Structure 1
Amino acid sequence: MLYLENEKVRVAINEIGAELSSIYLKEDETEYLWQANSTFWGRHAPQLFPIVGRLKENKYQFSGEEYQMSQHGFARDNIFNCIEIKADLIQLRLIDSPETRQQYPFKFQFDVIFTLSNSGELGIKYVVENIDQKVIYFGLGGHPGFNIPLSDRKKFEDYHLELQPDKVYQRKILNGPFLDEKQTTGFDATKSFPLKRADFKNDAIILDLDKQPIKIKIIDDEQQHGVVLSIKNAKFAGIWTKYDVEAPFICIEPWWGIADTIDATGQLVDKFSINQLDVGAQYLGEYSIQVF
């Protein structure tokens, strides 16, 4: 386990999956990050690469070959190497291997860079580099979960979401685990959005961000404690919790990619919202977390 710490917060990061494992606010002696209770969801904040969501039949085709890959890709279960560690920065790296190329036939370098500011804001930056001799195709995302409620005095329904810009966003609709591109609806963020489990009956709430900056705040009804995610350039934001159980967490997920559509062909190069990266080029994704 690796740590970033200052007067405000203490952050723990696991080299397995480059996964955040703790965001502890010292002033309130409160753990904000979901602690991977497997009764509900056994992860904290996995990194999603080289896909986001699920593939139809958990497989895809590229250049005449078929490959198997499970939901959200393999990065979350691989060991990252620590490239740099300082008082306010940790840089972790995953490079392709014979094992990854059995699932994903590309040479890549995937860095996750964590920075901690004096204010306690935690920055997360993704850098995907194409070290192959051909164009590579990929999805990318974060999946941090947060303890909601944050105290025994509160319940899940005592919290709400506030979004900036406060406008009506296009909401993507899932049919099972797959995207139904023929269906969209509006998500009215001109007012606060109270958390209710019924709103997650059909899985995640997915907002189309079109790479525009957004701030998503989770806050209690007394406006005292919560979390702000500042997402710089993601394509989508997923908001998710378990519907069928009283799971005391919520995930706010910046995505640079999305699940297969219901009519996906299985061809990786044709996958909806897939990113492509030229030889030697880099792709950047960035967001931050502020707890209060």
Structure 2
Amino acid sequence: MGETRDGISQQWDPQSSGIAARLQTHRAHGARVYDYILGGKDNYIVDREVGDASLQIWPALRVHMQEGRAFMHRSARYLATEKGIRQFLDIGTGLPTSPNLHETVQAVAPTSRIVYVDNDPIVLAHARALMQGSSEGKISYLDADMRDPERIINSPELAATLDLTQPVALTIISVVHFILDADEAYRVVRQLIDILPSGSWVALTVATDEFAPEVLTGVAKQYADHGEPLVWRTKAEAERFFDGLELEEPGVVQMHKWRRDPAEIANIADQDIAMYGGVAYKP
């Protein structure tokens, strides 16, 4: 079995590792649907069914997802370049699609350190096999659900990789819509923010149906019918995730409009983007 420089397995056996029992291939998973729509191959029939049905209802879904990746890249690059952040905690990693967050920030600063968190075993297995960072930096992978922030906060992976006395960028991209209960969603995000030292940053996106409500009702039904329900939130509800933080300009906006060239923004229809995004500073 091959290994990386950090001793992380390059190959994985889903049977011997216990992954097979946790895959739940009868249910769709957001990360695998995302992978399928973006042209990946790490997905199952049920994920493809959701993806195909959703694309039939809303053909712009692929554009929307591509813009989600673009927001992640812009915000991470901005924090690494403009704010000097060298530590990142990424919640809801998803299946590896290059360039990944560590590739973006380590291209700016090779010493950057990243902890990836996801709760789908196939995501973590592929991440361990495929993601290799710079020799100067460090990457860790944590198998955890963001609904259990204490598991993340108290994990040895976090402690061994990030120095919580120094600023950290918390990135929560395309994931809070899978926490249906509003109180729970705000609670878990707040618990993660609370562990960050002053001088840290948060980049977060929140799904919304405010720009295409009728068609997105159908998309949500497809996800729910295949075991992966999601919830849309208003702009005011999105802004609430940033309570107590100082929003960076231009505030909470549709994610394709966050620090983007106006000419590029003009090429994307608002109704094709179903997510708000924002970046904020923790004083």
TM-score by length of 2: 0.34
Question: Which structure: greater strand fraction?
Answer: 1
Question: Which structure: greater helix fraction?
Answer: 2
TM-score by length of 1: 0.33
